[in-house]
């Protein structure tokens, strides 16, 4: 038995039994590995991964860890508005604080900037019953300037809605036909600005007047840093023993737990409190029975994660370069100022030297005149 097999064999009885007892369709680790090793195509893909990635794949397929709900394939399967609209309806209703009914799914925007597309794990654009638009997206790694980027994309969505509605209504068009545009962003790992508010995991933004005047300005935003939510509702609960040692989630907390946790104990507890989430997990574990399909999905996620990481590093490097450029420019300004002061002082010295030379010359003339007078 090699090192990888020993590692899997050691962890299998401890963790899989918990989830497998709750989700009997979960496959055994050795069954999955056998299927992989007997299929040359799957084995080739499997060996493209490093050992840590191989272990991660086997862990979530066998219940050692919970599945990653925010993986694009899983999320779109579970939250597909065309198949189970009630799920995304409820999630959006909870986040927006109003009753939401999805009317239809709209195609994505191919004009989005390449760097933004590379940062996205998933995004779904839907039209609601009142014809307003909601874009739901997930960021694996928080990008720089999320406010500016979201505002630009929101403005683009608003313009798309305007063109579409005006085209449909033609002469009957009125600006009252233009409805709100909601941008909802989940961050698996959020940027430092969110961590300045460690007790808040839902941030809502909208435009409003400083005088109390009310106008319907249509762009609204919701940002959810799931890493901060996990700290508050997972680590703190486990360490502080909230609610007598167990969790008692409200509906919003339950959904965010479903989207963010891979801990088997919490998955079982959540599924016990809210059986509808157990049904969703069952659907995912049925998907996991198709090893080839799930391996393809996992490979795509790894590629996307690599792109996210590279783009994040580029953004971070660009921020560092910009800061260094500003510092250099400030230093250059100081140098230029000091240079100007030195030049001014040098001019003053030169002027003084000229004055001294003039005085020296005049003194010499005076001395010569005195000498001439003495001779007379």
Q: Given this model, what pLDDT does residue 236 score?
A: 63
- Give every CB contact of residue 115 below 8 A, 6+ residues apart in sequence: 311, 314
In the chain, domain spans: 3-62, 72-289
d(CA 233, CA 235): 6
The partner residues of 136 in beta bridges, in order of sequence, read 124, 184
Burial of 38 (0-12, 13-18, 19+ CB in 10 A): exposed
Q: Given this model, what pLDDT does residue 240 score?
A: 55
d(CA 46, CA 40): 10
Question: What global pTM score does this model have?
Answer: 0.73
Task: Return the structure tokens found at 116.
Answer: 């933004």
Q: Given this model, what pLDDT does residue 158 score?
A: 92
Q: Given this model, what pLDDT does residue 5 score?
A: 42
Handedness of CA 85, 207, 137, 231 (dihedral sign): negative
Reading the chain (376 residues) residue by residue, the pLDDT tens digits are 443 344 444 444 444 458 888 899 999 999 999 999 999 999 998 998 889 888 988 998 888 888 888 887 788 888 888 889 999 999 999 999 999 999 888 876 545 444 444 444 457 888 888 889 999 988 877 777 788 888 988 998 899 899 989 999 999 999 999 999 999 999 988 888 999 999 999 999 999 899 999 999 999 999 999 999 999 886 666 555 544 445 678 999 999 999 999 889 899 999 999 999 999 999 999 988 888 888 888 887 777 665 555 555 556 556 666 677 777 888 888 888 888 888 888 888 888 888 888 888 888 888 888 888 777 6
Task: Return the structure tokens found at 187.
Answer: 């961050």
Phi, psi for residue 107 in degrees, rounded to 5: -65, 150
């Amino acid at each position: 038995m090699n090192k990888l097999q020993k590692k899997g064999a050691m962890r299998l009885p401890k963790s899989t039994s918990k989830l497998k007892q709750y989700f009997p369709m979960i496959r055994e680790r050795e069954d999955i590995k056998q299927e992989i090793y007997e299929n040359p195509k799957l084995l080739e893909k499997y060996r493209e991964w490093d050992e840590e990635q191989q272990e991660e794949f086997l862990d979530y397929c066998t219940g050692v860890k919970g599945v990653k709900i925010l993986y694009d394939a899983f999320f779109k399967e579970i939250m597909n508005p065309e198949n189970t609209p009630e799920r995304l309806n409820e999630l959006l209703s909870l986040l927006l604080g109003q009753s939401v009914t999805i009317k239809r799914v709209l195609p994505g925007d191919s004009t989005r900037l390449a760097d933004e597309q590379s940062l996205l794990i998933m995004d779904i654009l839907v039209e609601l019953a009142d014809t307003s638009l909601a874009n739901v997206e997930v960021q694996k790694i928080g990008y720089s300037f999320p406010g500016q980027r979201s505002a630009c994309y929101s403005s683009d969505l608003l313009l798309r809605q305007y063109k579409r509605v005006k085209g449909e209504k033609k002469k009957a068009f009125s600006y009252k036909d233009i409805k709100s545009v909601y941008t909802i962003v989940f961050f698996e790992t959020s940027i430092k600005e969110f961590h300045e508010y460690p007790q808040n995991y839902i941030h809502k933004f909208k435009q409003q007047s400083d005088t109390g005047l009310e106008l319907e300005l249509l762009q609204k935003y919701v940002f959810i840093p799931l890493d901060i939510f996990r700290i508050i509702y997972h680590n703190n609960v486990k360490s502080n023993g909230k609610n007598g040692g167990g969790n008692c989630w409200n509906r919003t907390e339950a959904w965010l737990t479903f989207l963010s946790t891979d801990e088997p104990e919490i998955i079982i507890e959540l599924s016990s409190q809210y059986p509808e989430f157990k049904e969703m997990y069952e659907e995912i574990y049925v998907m996991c029975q198709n090893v080839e399909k799930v391996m393809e999905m996992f490979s795509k996620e790894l590629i996307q994660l690599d792109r996210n990481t590279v783009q994040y590093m580029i953004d971070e490097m660009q921020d560092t370069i910009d800061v260094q450029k500003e510092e250099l420019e400030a230093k250059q300004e100081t140098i230029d100022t000091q240079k100007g002061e030195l030049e001014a002082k040098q001019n003053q010295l030169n002027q003084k030297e000229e004055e001294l030379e003039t005085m020296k010359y005049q003194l010499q003339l005076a001395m010569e005149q005195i000498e001439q007078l003495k001779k007379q």
